[in-house]
Amino acid sequence: NAGVMQNPRHLVRRRGQEARLRCSPMKGHSHVYWYRQLPEEGLKFMVYLQKENIIDESGMPKERFSAEFPKEGPSILRIQQVVRGDSAAYFCASSPASGTSNEKLFFGSGTQLSVL
Amino acid sequence: AQKITQTQPGMFVQEKEAVTLDCTYDTSDQSYGLFWYKQPSSGEMIFLIYQGSYDEQNATEGRYSLNFQKARKSANLVISASQLGDSAMYFCAMREGLGGSSYKLIFGSGTRLLVRP
């Protein structure tokens, strides 16, 4: 039973380029979450998606960042015109349902984005 | 306002000894959940243990136990019989509003644990 799969594991971009990060949730999971971790900090919530719907994007910058979770295929976090401050580890997590008190949030291994 | 506070940026422990990692939280919700995650140098986030606000007993998972003191709003992680492989960053996290649909976890800044042989 594969876990949450993220790719690529490492991504290098030059300033101004676009970064696309992919996340395939665990089998049977329909909820996806993206978190960002700056160096030496804890994870910060960015966005929560269900299939074809953005439920909560309160943690996502208003400009240049977007996320989707289509009916078919992985969830995509897209960062346009990257800047050095976007360099961070981006984690995806998934859960099977909502409202259950002790549901674990399963994280992928993360994508380390480096902007040159 | 900071909702999860981990006051120990770094900790040392001798192999085979027990260690307590501190975590305090702030919430006005009656229903919430507290999590601990381990992040080794390879970077992945590994779930360790969970405590619900209504759970009567402290959670335990193998060598991990959570010392939950609700009145003090603390949820300290206790690792017994430390092993070299326990060297990692440890994050405390909270989920508010368990009846809701969001798993928006709020993380602390982490504690780096180093186990000495």
pLDDT of B1 strictly over 90: no
Positive or negative CA dihedral for A85, B104, B48, B57?
A: positive
The answer to whether the Cβ–Cβ distance between B45 and A59 falls below 8 Å is no
Rama region for B73: left / alpha / beta (φ>0; ψ in -120 to 50; rest): left
The answer to whether the Cβ–Cβ distance between B105 and A43 falls below 8 Å is yes
Q: Which amino acid is at A80?
A: Q
Mean pLDDT (whole number) for B88-100? 82
Closest residue to B103, CB basis, from A40, A105, A112: A105
pLDDT, tens digit (0-9, with 9 covering 90-100), for B4-34 = 999 999 999 999 999 999 999 999 888 888 9
Cα B33 to Cα B24: distance, rounded to the nearest angstrom:
13
pLDDT of B69 strictly over 80: yes
Cα A3 to Cα B50: distance, rounded to the nearest angstrom:
19
Distance from A44 to chain B by nearest Cα, in Å? Answer: 7
Cα A14 to Cα A90: distance, rounded to the nearest angstrom:
17
Q: Which residues contact A7 (CB under 8 A, 6 or more apart)?
A: A22, A111
Q: Which residues does chain B have within 8 Å of residue A48's beta carbon, measured at their own beta carbons?
A: 102-104
Burial of B63 (0-12, 13-18, 19+ CB in 10 A): middle
pLDDT, tens digit (0-9, with 9 covering 90-100), for A13-71 = 999 999 999 999 998 888 899 999 998 888 999 999 998 899 899 999 999 999 999 98
Q: Which residues contact A63 (CB under 8 A, 6 or more apart)?
A: none
Closest residue to A56, CB basis, from B35, B104, B108: B104
| Per-residue model confidence (pLDDT) at position A106 | 82
Q: Which residues does chain B have within 8 Å of residue A106's beta carbon, measured at their own beta carbons?
A: 47
| Per-residue model confidence (pLDDT) at position B28 | 87
pLDDT, tens digit (0-9, with 9 covering 90-100), for A89-115 = 999 998 876 555 556 778 999 999 999
Cα B23 to Cα A3: distance, rounded to the nearest angstrom:
28
Positive or negative CA dihedral for A61, A95, B106, B84?
A: negative
The answer to whether the Cβ–Cβ distance between B91 and A42 falls below 8 Å is yes
The answer to whether the Cβ–Cβ distance between A48 and B103 falls below 8 Å is yes
Mean pLDDT (whole number) for B73-84? 97
